[in-house]
């Protein structure tokens, strides 16, 4: 994860001037936002650095932008991932998953070992069901096919239930607890 302090240091070193009126801080925050958005378009960086003309010669702005872009690109690369080497792999890979224009999983790493059971947990609307359907429909690149890996996908609704009340003085009695409009729980099993 790229930190603002590191970006500020890179901008100040590349510009070679002290921060006057917060110009370098502004450029550093813009650089950080572009880094987090994975925007590596050089022209966009040069345009966003135009404000530097207030503190550095206009001819140097593009060079400062390019230096900062490269430092941010390098520092934003994820650390090398270390895979588990024990046991037999059923699947080991990296993939992404989208639902229409919405990216649900980006650069997701998954490793499944033989003779293990796995569950998929996460908050509502994070892509659990979409991932399981993609696995079921053999849409995850490199994932074992149905004849190589048994996958059980159970989908069910949570029913309304009554919550016990304290019945004590000042405590409310029993009340109905209703789930959100539609809550889906999935139970994947790989084996």
- This prediction's pTM: 0.46
Percent of the chain with pLDDT over 90: 24
- Summary count for the chain: helices (H), strands (E): 5, 6
Q: What is the mean pLDDT of the chain?
A: 80
Same domain? 53 vs 128: no
Same domain? 98 vs 180: yes
Distance, in Å, from the CA atom of 174 to the CA atom of 37, rounded to the nearest integer, reads 48
Which token pair is 163?
A: 């919550």
Which token pair is 187?
A: 């139970």
Instruction: Report the pLDDT value the prediction gives residue 48, as an integer from 0 to 100.
Output: 92
Closest by alpha carbon to 35, among 79, 77, 76, 80? 76
Q: Which helix (H) or strand (E) holds 34?
A: helix 23-36
**CA 111 → CA 26, 106, 108, distances in Å?**
41, 16, 10
Same domain? 70 vs 95: no
Same domain? 68 vs 121: no
Instruction: Report the pLDDT value the prediction gives residue 184, as an integer from 0 to 100.
Output: 47
What are the start-end ranges of the H helices in 37-136?
42-48, 58-75, 128-136
Instruction: Report the pLDDT value the prediction gives residue 3, as an integer from 0 to 100.
Output: 85
* Domain assignment present for 66: yes
CA dihedral sign, ordered 84, 88, 92, 97:
negative
Same domain? 71 vs 138: no
Same domain? 62 vs 105: no
* Domain assignment present for 82: no
Instruction: Report the pLDDT value the prediction gives residue 183, as an integer from 0 to 100.
Output: 45
């Amino acid at each position: 994860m790229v930190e603002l302090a590191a970006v500020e240091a890179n901008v100040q070193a590349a510009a070679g001037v002290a921060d006057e009126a917060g110009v370098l801080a502004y450029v550093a925050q813009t650089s950080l936002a572009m880094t987090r958005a994975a925007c590596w378009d050089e022209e966009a960086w040069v345009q966003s650095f135009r404000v530097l003309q207030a503190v550095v010669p206009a001819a140097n702005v593009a060079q400062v932008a390019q230096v900062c872009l490269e430092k941010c690109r390098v520092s934003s690369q994820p650390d090398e991932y270390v895979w588990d080497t024990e046991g037999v792999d059923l699947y080991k890979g990296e993939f992404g998953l989208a639902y229409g224009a919405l990216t649900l999983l980006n650069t997701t790493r998954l490793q499944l070992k033989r003779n293990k059971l796995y569950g998929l947990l996460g908050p509502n609307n994070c892509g659990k069901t979409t991932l399981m359907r993609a696995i079921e429909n053999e849409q995850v690149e490199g994932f074992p096919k149905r004849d190589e890996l048994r996958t059980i996908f159970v989908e069910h609704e949570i029913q309304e239930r009554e919550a016990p009340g304290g019945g004590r003085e000042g405590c409310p009695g029993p009340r109905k607890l209703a789930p959100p409009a539609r809550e889906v729980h999935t139970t994947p099993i790989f084996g």
